[in-house]
Amino acid sequence: MKIPTTTDIPQRYTWCLAGICYSSLAILPSFLSYAESYFNPAFLLENGTSVADLSRFERGNHQPAGVYRVDLWRNDEFIGSQDIVFESTTENTGDKSGGLMPCFNQVLLERISLNSSAFPELAQQQTINASIY
């Protein structure tokens, strides 16, 4: 029966230790690499005046409020394309929304065959913000 010596023990764990080290080296750079998106507005200078404020795009997929043409779908059925007013919101709307929420009016709700009586706010104002529903 052979009794393990101190020189045999490190050889047994060499492969295990090497695997742990290589795994750590592979994971470590992902924690160390972090960068924010920044575009220098000086690149868009025209005669010494700034062309646009780009700060809202530093946070990711954010668009300015306005009217956008969108495709309307209801229960996997294509309704059509229409211009919809989108307003900026500070609520947590998710990454894909771009910080915007659509505003619906009575005509649009009737066009897509939604029960407009379920939205009592339409009696008091022209449009409703979808973020409250």
Q: How far apart are CA 131 and CA 85, in angstroms?
A: 13
The answer to whether domain 61-132 has CATH 3.20.20.150 is no
Give the pLDDT mean for 4-17: 66
Domain locations along the chain: 61-132
Q: How confident is the model at residue 64 (pLDDT cuts 50, 70, 90)?
A: confident
- Residue 93 in contact with residue 131, Cβ under 8 Å? yes
Q: How far is CA 48 from each of CA 53, 65, 75, rounded to the nearest angstrom?
A: 14, 27, 51
Q: How far apart are CA 108 and CA 104, in angstroms?
A: 6
Give the pLDDT mean for 57-82: 82
**Bigger pLDDT: 77 or 13?**
77
Residue 27 has pLDDT above 80, yes or no: no
Helix (H) or strand (E) run with residue 72 in it: strand 66-74
pTM for this entry: 0.49
If you average pLDDT over every residue of the chain, what do you get?
A: 72
